[in-house]
Structure 1
Amino acid sequence: MSALDRYLAREILLPFGAGLLFLTQLLLATQLLSQGDVLLGAGASFRDLGLVCLDLLPHLMGYVLPVAFLLGAVVGVGRLAEDRELVALSAAGLAPSRLVRVPLALGALASAAALVLSLQAEPAGLRAARARLDDLIKRNVTSEVRSGTFFEEIPDVTLYAEKVQRDGWRHVLVSDRSDPAAPLLALAEGGKLRPAEGGTLELVLTRGEAHREELAQGEYVTARFRQGVIDVGVGQTLEERNRLVGSPFELTPGEIVRLARRADAATPPNPEEARRWRTFLHRRIAGPLALLAFALLAVPIAASRRGGRAFGYVATLLAVVGYYAVLRVGEGLSQRGALPYWLGPELANLACAAAGLAAIALTNRRGAGAVR
């Protein structure tokens, strides 16, 4: 690597790192606010907050890396243009296109890292974040029971405890309407909620009596117990509070391929579903490859910024918005079968790369006069 390449790489990496840090913090703050009722609940701690942030990082990087890289490359090369260093390089016989290989090399490295994040780290991180949020929701539910207050956050269950202590509740009333044909009313001296297998909670009651009305038979049953356990389903609560439930980005490439094959092998076959999954897989691949397409755009944008630094920022914003607009259009065309499932998600990369190559050729032909 020549001294010029190392110099340009340093100019790009500093704003790239700053943009990556800023945008990541911005997206993390957005995610945390959207789950604030869970992450800031009574059962959460700073450790839980930090672990959820770490789990979400690979997913957020898929959105942040391309934008931060394009911004860093435009700012880095643009700094050379503002200080007339590009004019000096052109006068020395180096065409502006000579600078493209540095953003391309950096883009290739970042793209390889982004592919690993998208196809391996992202599914694992999202699954860990979802499981952690599920656990927090259960702990919050347990911690939200207050003395002398009816608690109705669990579907079909009403809890009342005269006194809530660290080791449990005292003088507990439970109304369980999960089975409409046989509603249950339980009165107990003590009780508490604890996690159970299968993602549910168990309500453990001690020294009490249960009243169940069998509506179909017209019977009323009463029983005393020393210890009773009621399974409390919290599936609906988890789905309502955990925004990560059902995210397709949890799926690994192998799982996506199996879903597509399953749709093909269904009776009758479901080609639309299979095409949708295959398009989604290529969408996961197309995102990281955007760094290569953006690398081709960076030098022309920075080298022709007659409007000063503001031009570079505006052009970067327009390039990013245009890229994701074409990406969504191409993805929709592939899902409808208008384009092959591999082509639609790559349409934005191809269009961006073609625009970058055309702009590089134009900038190269104009020479030093293209740089103001």
Structure 2
Amino acid sequence: MRILDRYIFRQLIVPVLGAVAALTAIALLSQSLSQFDLIVERGQSAWTFMRVTLLSLPQLAGLIFPIAIFVGTLIALTRLQSEHEITAVRAAGSSLMRLASPMIRIGVWFALISLVSNLFLQPLTARAMRGEMFRIRNDLISSLVKEGAFSTASSGLTIYVQRIDQNGLLRQIFIRTPEANGKDRTYVASEGKISNVDGANILIMRRGSTQQVNDSGAITNATFDETSFDVSRYFSSDDFLHYKEGDRYIHELFFPNIALDWEKGNRTKLQAEGHARLAGPLYNLTFMLLAIVAVLGGQFRRGGYGQRIAAVAGIAAVVRILGIAAETASAGSVVMNVLQYAVPIIPIVICLRLLHKRDSKRGLARSQRMSTLETLRPAA
């Protein structure tokens, strides 16, 4: 039987991995379109764009894996059934549960991979993405400086840059700083670059001049080859890096620091996220068994299994929607967390019972045929 297991494994793993690759490509495309403003509006590099897009993939694995398993298993089983390979194995005396054993193991392996991803990889990448997005939002060049447009900060600082190179070099700079008694100062420079020095954002400008109104009302003008300007004094942000539920590790979800107001007030929501991380991998096994039942859970049909597959696909969609609803409801009540496990486990139990029931009926029919042959043999 090990030969049979290896053969079924090879027939299933290829379409399942192909479905994973196809759905991952679709997810990457969707994420890249949603993050495209990082380049268009924020002036970030292509590497930053790709990094943020790739960091979001572990969070999508919980949705990609079950669907890929369902689609890949349906493709493999439909082909095996249409070529009568499953019929031959069944005629040789193999039970449905024995036939489904290597398929269920694939579902269990994907569930374990998804569990490891939920516990370790997802919070790691989510924190990295959160930090990257925080850096982008608070980047002076991306948040304040707009290429070819005058931008004014809340402090009154006005800055104009004709062009921003990919390396962050600013071309043709104009700056007006608000001063007391209307004695504003202006800077004009051919180029400059913002650097971080001891936590302060310093704009280093080259080949320019500065003008300011003095006490007598006259305008003083001075030229410079290079000068530095502390932009941090005129730019302030109340934003701070805050990790949400999806960014936290499992121990932080079940044992939050109740000394902090936010974690104390969102304790139920954090626990709901923790249970969702543990219950989510079960959908891999659920969708695998649903696909098996869709093809092998009924009588053989020469015309195909379109209606049965469509019905089971609808059931799979309902199960996943109920799982999302259970997770949402659990954010408001701790007791509802039981549903997060019940929603994927109940279809697993039902599918296993259906497969076992079909095996029992087949075994009973075989016993009746053997009994009939034994009865007729003496009469012959």
TM-score (norm 1): 0.75
| 1:229 Cα offset (Å) | 0.8
Contact 1:42 / 1:143 at 8 angstroms: preserved in 2? Answer: no
Q: Partners in 2 of 1:153 and 1:308 — Cα distance?
A: 66
Paired AA for residue 146 in structure 1: E
Bigger shift: residues 155-164 or 5-14: 155-164
Aligned to 1:8: 8
Instruction: Tell whether 2:111 aligns with 1:111.
Output: yes
Instruction: Tell whether 2:48 aligns with 1:52.
Output: no
Cα deviation 1:279-324 (Å, max 9, x = unaligned): 2101011111221223332321121374626446534532431122
Structure 2 portions without partners, runs of 5+: 364-380
CA 326–172 in structure 1, closer or farther in 2 if over 3 Å, else same = same
Instruction: Tell whether 2:247 aligns with 1:254.
Output: no
Number of residue equivalences? 345
Q: Partners in 2 of 1:155 and 1:340 — Cα distance?
A: 48
| 1:173 Cα offset (Å) | 2.7
Equivalences for residues 198-217 of structure 1 within 5 A: 202-203=202-203, 208=210
Q: Partners in 2 of 1:176 and 1:320 — Cα distance?
A: 62
Structure 2 residue matching 1:228: 3-state secondary structure: strand
Of residues 327, 330, 334, the one that matches 2:330 is: 334
TM-score (norm 2): 0.74
| 1:198 Cα offset (Å) | 10
Structure 1 portions without partners, runs of 5+: 212-219
Q: Partners in 1 of 2:178 and 2:341 — Cα distance?
A: 53
Q: Partners in 2 of 1:200 and 1:317 — Cα distance?
A: 56
Of residues 337, 360, 365, the one that matches 2:355 is: 360
Q: Partners in 2 of 1:175 and 1:309 — Cα distance?
A: 73
Question: Quick check: which has more Rg, 1 or 2?
Answer: 2
CA 4–325 in structure 1, closer or farther in 2 if over 3 Å, else same = same
Aligned to 1:61: 61
Paired AA for residue 127 in structure 2: R
Q: Partners in 2 of 1:103 and 1:200 — Cα distance?
A: 58
Bigger shift: residues 4-13 or 92-101: 92-101
Larger relative contact order, structure 1 or 2 (CA cutoff 8 Å, min sep 6): 1
Contact 1:141 / 1:153 at 8 angstroms: preserved in 2? Answer: no
| 1:86 Cα offset (Å) | 2.1
Contact 1:150 / 1:160 at 8 angstroms: preserved in 2? Answer: yes
Instruction: Tell whether 2:95 aligns with 1:95.
Output: yes
| 1:36 Cα offset (Å) | 0.9
CA 2–164 in structure 1, closer or farther in 2 if over 3 Å, else same = closer
Aligned to 1:216: none
Bigger shift: residues 64-73 or 45-54: 45-54
CA 205–70 in structure 1, closer or farther in 2 if over 3 Å, else same = same
Aligned to 1:189: 188
Q: Partners in 2 of 1:328 and 1:345 — Cα distance?
A: 8
Aligned to 1:141: 142
Q: Partners in 2 of 1:184 and 1:127 — Cα distance?
A: 45
| 1:34 Cα offset (Å) | 0.8
Q: Aligned-pair RMSD on alpha carbons?
A: 4.1
